Structure 1
Amino acid sequence: MRVLVVMDPIETVNLKKDSTMAMLWAASRRGHELGYALQHDLYIDQGKAFGLISPLQVFEDYNHYYELGEKRKESLADYDVVLMRKDPPFDMNFVYTTYILEQAEREGAWIINKPQSLRDCNEKLFATQFPELQVPTLVTSQQSLIREFIKTHGDVIVKP
């Protein structure tokens, strides 16, 4: 099976906790052929989804955990599965990447995680649809509301 992973720069991965590397190691152990691309390597040419893809070998050795081959132009539809593992930020580059992956999906590629779901189910806001399953939560950029929330709830976690 041919597996393409679209992810953050592989040299920045935290090997002790990165689930993408765990998946790649598992795929390698099973003999699957791996390809690697960054977001900006994906593009559409004449209505078809392509990427500048590097062949990837992975090793379960923290001192030498990957080797990349020379980039080559390939159709994303030539891969059996494309793993979309790019971490946020959710910006326009991320949105455009999901559109390119949707084109690959229309061409027959199996995309994990589904591009439309990545847009529709923002990781920060999706959980707010289930308030009965979470602690008190506020999503705002208004400092006065944040102060009021802290006053009401005491110890809180604030994320930018």
Structure 2
Amino acid sequence: MKIAFLADALSTFKTYKDSTYAMMVEANQRGHAVYAFEQKDMAVLGGIATAKASQISFTGDATDWYRAAPAVETNLGEFDAIVQRKDPPFDMEYIYGTYMLELAEAQGAKVFNKPSAIRDHSEKLAIAQFSQYTSPTLVTADEARIRAFQAEHGDIILKPLDGMGGTGIFRVKPDAMNLGAIIETLTQNGATTIMAQRFIPDIAKGDKRILVIAGKPVPFSLARIPQNGEVRGNLAAGGLGVAQPLTERDFEIANAIGPTLAARGLLLVGLDVIGDCLTEVNVTSPTCFQEITQQAGFPVAATFIDAVEAAVSAG
């Protein structure tokens, strides 16, 4: 197969932990031709989506890890599979990219995750579709509603809807210290919608990333455990990643949600679970492949490429 990865610049990859790198290496080892391009490399002319794509070869060196052939303007429909791995921010540029990838689908390529499904599943707001598994949650830009929510629940978390890696997350305790300033900052004085959730004390045991591939959960999560007094477990915020078997509740959530999301075109999903509560549904570029494989021995990248091959074969 010809597999293309829409990703950020390859030079920015940290190969010891990058999930996209693990996907690429696995695909290459199976004999698939691996290509890469960035969102800025895409174009549409005469209704045809193309990209300046480079075929990638692998050196085996963890630092100087790839060689890129000269980029060639390629009809995106020529690829058997396109794997969407561009990181957020999920801004209008990201959305424009999904429209271009939809044209690629019309031209014959299989795109994972499905572009329209990515657009339809805000990584924060999607949990509202599965509220039976969540902590009490409010989404609003209205200060009065946020203050009422805090008064009811006492200890809460406030966060932007478009953040990643733990950016912009605040904890407000029952004394409501700095609540007004936090609301003003996050909502930009009422102009921007944010999320409030009742604080889940089990964050001390980790913010678990559960990977769901083709509707089935990987049997190990990566618990991202806050360090040094942090409330955030995100690896980007200094959290410690510890692979551990899924709990009965983890399986319950993943098995209930996974098939529904897969049927919508989401081949790979990262569910974030704290304690017994679902907190996010990650669909843009879910990570933690390598950490789970290294610590638990489960072949996550191989499982994912199996799923891509099966989806392409199914037509």
How big is the alpha-carbon RMSD for the aligned residues of Structure 1 and Structure 2? 1.9
Code of the residue aligned with 1:20 in structure 2: it is T
Q: Deviations over 1:76-129 (max 9, x none)?
A: 111110001112222111111111111111111111111111111121211111
CA distance in 2 between counterparts of 1:154 and 1:62 reads: 47
Contact 1:2 1:32 in 2 (8 A): yes
Structure 1 vs Structure 2: percent identity of aligned residues?
39
Contact 1:25 1:60 in 2 (8 A): no
**Structure 2 equivalent of residue 79 of structure 1:** 79
Bigger mean CA offset, 128-137 vs 72-81: 128-137
Bigger mean CA offset, 148-157 vs 75-84: 148-157
Q: TM-score, normalization: structure 1?
A: 0.88
Bigger mean CA offset, 147-156 vs 82-91: 147-156
Residues 152 and 66 (structure 1), Cα distance of their counterparts in 2 relative to 1, 3 Å cut: farther
Instruction: Say which SS state the counterpart of residue 159 (structure 1) adopts.
Output: strand
Instruction: Say which SS state the counterpart of residue 139 (structure 1) adopts.
Output: strand
Structure 2 residues without counterparts, runs of 5 or longer:
161-315
Bigger mean CA offset, 24-33 vs 136-145: 136-145
Residues 150 and 56 (structure 1), Cα distance of their counterparts in 2 relative to 1, 3 Å cut: farther
Q: Which has the higher strand share?
A: 2
Q: CA deviation at 1:151?
A: 4.0
Code of the residue aligned with 2:44 in structure 1: it is I
Code of the residue aligned with 1:55 in structure 2: it is Q
Q: Deviations over 1:33-85 (max 9, x none)?
A: 11111111111111111001121124554322322222110111111100011
Residues 141 and 59 (structure 1), Cα distance of their counterparts in 2 relative to 1, 3 Å cut: farther
**Structure 2 equivalent of residue 109 of structure 1:** 109
The structure whose Rg is larger is 2
Q: TM-score, normalization: structure 2?
A: 0.47
Contact 1:49 1:101 in 2 (8 A): yes
| Higher relative contact order, chain-length normalized (CA < 8 Å, sep 6+) | 1
**Structure 2 equivalent of residue 123 of structure 1:** 123
Residues 39 and 149 (structure 1), Cα distance of their counterparts in 2 relative to 1, 3 Å cut: same
- Which stretches of structure 1, 4 residues or more, deviate above 6 A after TM superposition? none
Contact 1:25 1:59 in 2 (8 A): no
1:80-159 → structure 2 map (5 Å cutoff): 80-159=80-159
Structure 1 residues without counterparts, runs of 5 or longer:
none
Bigger mean CA offset, 55-64 vs 123-132: 55-64
**Structure 1 equivalent of residue 295 of structure 2:** none
**Structure 2 equivalent of residue 66 of structure 1:** 66
